[in-house]
Structure 1
Amino acid sequence: MLRNLMNTTLAAGFAVMATVAYAENYPTPVPLNEGAQAPIDAIAPKNEKFRIAYMPPATEFNYYIAIGEGIKAVAAEAGVEVFMLAPQSGADINGQMGMIQDVLTQDVDAIIFGTHDEFAAAPLIKKAVDSGIAVLMINSDIPNFPTPIHGVVGYSQRSGTHNIADWAIENYGDKPLKVGIIEGQPGYHSTERVGGFLDGIEGNENFEVVVSIDGKWNVEGGNTAGMDILQSHPDLDMVFAANDYMIIGASFAAKALGRSDIVLLGNDGDTSGLEEIAAGNITATVNTSPFLMGKAAMHATVDALNGTYPGGWIETPTSIEDKDGAISVLQEPTKLFPQPSKEY
């Protein structure tokens, strides 16, 4: 595993460092698993002005647009060219694979990518690495992508959701609770995020998970999943979802069913999720600072192209935000994308 993969003390420490300076002065990367690191000295830029493709899983999620804005900000500072290419839907795995294949013909120097299916992406990512393209994965902490890559930039997913489980125990753990879970589509991200929450409540006799279903990562899927689990388990006290979009969808279901009493927990720190928390419609989330993540990823990518990035995993900060915390984050709109809908 990563060196004590997801060390919770590191996660807590980095939360304090969630500043623009953090993205420019990222911590020393943690080595990937043996055999998972592609050699930095094999990177062979083709263009005098670096050309970089940002390839998130989907454009339907503002979260990935926020990461892209951080990437673009650093690209402008560094004088490099960056473009984004992604399918509209996060469920369109084939669409993303076709786009990666197309980018391999476009003389790019680097690819910053995220995917919901690492095994589908691996053969194409291998082609990129073998051709001298710098390849970094974003919004992840995977220590052993199925084929060697140059770097990984993202937060400790299992630690982040373990921390929100700890927060839930501290704030609601004094009485028995029935818990529902809304997973993402099967894959590393869902496994880690759901796994961290389950690890956090394991052994606590007041938390009983009674249902866990797929919410497809989006608001519509979260709404459908939320309606299903709340109707089939009307005694639910708490719902945890693996991202903010799904918990927003679940909050619509809870409102439609008149369930203002239910505790709703998310993960991401998307602007819309933070605003729903500030409005009292969602209880809390793991804030993962996507804009700063994008800045850190772009700095690392430029360093990789210049031969000064050693490879490995760069951990980016997280924090648990309830209503007061969400309002505080929303009061710093320069660190958010999209901008909040109003001034806080």
Structure 2
Amino acid sequence: MNLQTTGRKALMALGAALLMAHATAQAPSYPAPKPLGAGAQATLDKLSYKGGTPTIAYLPMGTEYNYHVALYEGIKSVPGIKSFMLSPYSGSDQAGQMGMLQDVTSRKDVDAILIISFDEHSLAPLIKKAVDAGKVVVIVNSDIPNFPTPVHGVVGVNQRIANKALAEWARAQAKDAPKSVGVLDGEPSYIATERAGGFLDGLKDSNWKLATRINGGWSVEKGNTAAMDMLQANPGINAIYASSDYMALGAALAAKSLGRTNISIYGYDGDTGALEDIANGGGVTATTNTSPVKMGRMAALFAVDLLNRKSSGGYVNVPTEIVYKGNVQAVLKQPADLYPKPSKAY
């Protein structure tokens, strides 16, 4: 009798474990999509995908940015798909990206296109052609609710909210001591506007005052040059917000060159180089980690669901966290979710 009872309990435990495993396997692989703006959602009625192993083309805006390559690390980690990346090296080579978009649109073996847009208005006519050609089109690393032409999905971070939160966190850490702030913008675009705009939203009605705001060009080199000019023209600046970690790293180099050790520098992205800079006291104070490897994985899974008509589209908001000296080690101890890998074990 005891053996029978023990056996029944074991079977019940096994059944519960199998149900839990099934539930875990069926759990959403990305946050539930939210509706895009009115008229911005492309329908699925033109899709040419008929089943089988889907092919996803990923078109970032410049492989000079590790962040864009990190997104592809996430994309290609998704099982059951074929994928490839096409990108100019320079993030300012808009013509190069447009030509590549035309190429993948004409390819019958491409089922979905994941693309990073620095200039949505220039890309819009070509995006429309891709949608009309039956491709799933997802804008990645953005939260734009109303792309100029309808798309199937957008995957990214609510940049204005995330950067407002970073500014409020920075003020709290400084115990609201007054600061003179310089802002390094990216090249003019929706994402540049939202990122810097969010940080400035977080400074409203505070004693952190904007001294100047200039274009830092997205890169380490351009960010370094812009920060050098900014600090020499405005020696009272003691806080810098950069709309990307690359520019933040450039600003840290500028501050070091000028012997300025009293400057707090805040970035955005979650680039491995910036994370290690924070850990090693190189000059970057904090960043918003948007987990690009995870974002790429989510974007690919979302595209597959769109192709299989398991989703009708929308905006997928990727979770973020503010990373600083106190918690950066925990992030660096997860190298599977980072690209490039950290330079050492943490």
> One fold, TM greater than 0.5?
yes
Name 2:196's counterpart in structure 1: 194
Match of 2:106, SS?
coil
Q: 1:44-193 counterparts in 2 under 5 A?
A: 44-45=48-49, 48-74=52-78, 77-78=79-80, 80-107=81-108, 108-193=110-195
Alignment partners' CA distance in 1, 2:52 and 2:276: 42
Alignment partners' CA distance in 2, 1:174 and 1:85: 45
Shift of 1:46: 6.0
Match of 1:40, SS?
coil
Shift of 1:104: 1.4
Match of 2:114, SS?
strand
Indicate if the aligned counterparts of 2:305 and 2:311 stay in contact, CA closer than 8 A. Answer: yes
**1:30-56 Cα distance to aligned partner (Å, 9 max, x none):** 000110000023222167331110001
Indicate if the aligned counterparts of 2:155 and 2:316 stay in contact, CA closer than 8 A. Answer: yes
Percent of counterpart pairs with the same letter? 50
The range that moved more, 220-229 or 25-34, is 25-34
Indicate if the aligned counterparts of 1:183 and 1:215 stay in contact, CA closer than 8 A. Answer: yes
Match of 1:135, SS?
strand
The range that moved more, 289-298 or 22-31, is 22-31
Name 1:26's counterpart in structure 2: 30
Shift of 1:27: 2.0
- The number of aligned residues is 321
| C-alpha RMSD of matched pairs (Å) | 1.6
- Over 3 Å counting, the alpha-carbon distance change for 1:71 and 1:305 in structure 2 is same
Compute the TM-score of the two structures, normalised by the length of structure 1: 0.91
2:342 is aligned with what amino acid?
P
Match of 2:229, SS?
helix
Shift of 1:24: 5.5
Indicate if the aligned counterparts of 1:23 and 1:292 stay in contact, CA closer than 8 A. Answer: no
**1:141-186 Cα distance to aligned partner (Å, 9 max, x none):** 1000000000001111111111110111101243221000000000
**1:7-37 Cα distance to aligned partner (Å, 9 max, x none):** xxxxxxxxxxxxx999962122100011000
Indicate if the aligned counterparts of 1:46 and 1:109 stay in contact, CA closer than 8 A. Answer: no
Shift of 1:98: 1.0
Highest CA radius of gyration, 1 or 2? 2
Alignment partners' CA distance in 1, 2:26 and 2:197: 28
- Over 3 Å counting, the alpha-carbon distance change for 1:23 and 1:185 in structure 2 is farther
Off by >6 Å, runs of 4+ in structure 1? 20-23
Indicate if the aligned counterparts of 2:131 and 2:151 stay in contact, CA closer than 8 A. Answer: yes
Q: 1:243-282 counterparts in 2 under 5 A?
A: 243-281=244-282, 282=284
2:198 is aligned with what amino acid?
G
Name 2:18's counterpart in structure 1: none
Indicate if the aligned counterparts of 1:23 and 1:296 stay in contact, CA closer than 8 A. Answer: no
Alignment partners' CA distance in 1, 2:27 and 2:97: 27
Shift of 1:95: 1.0
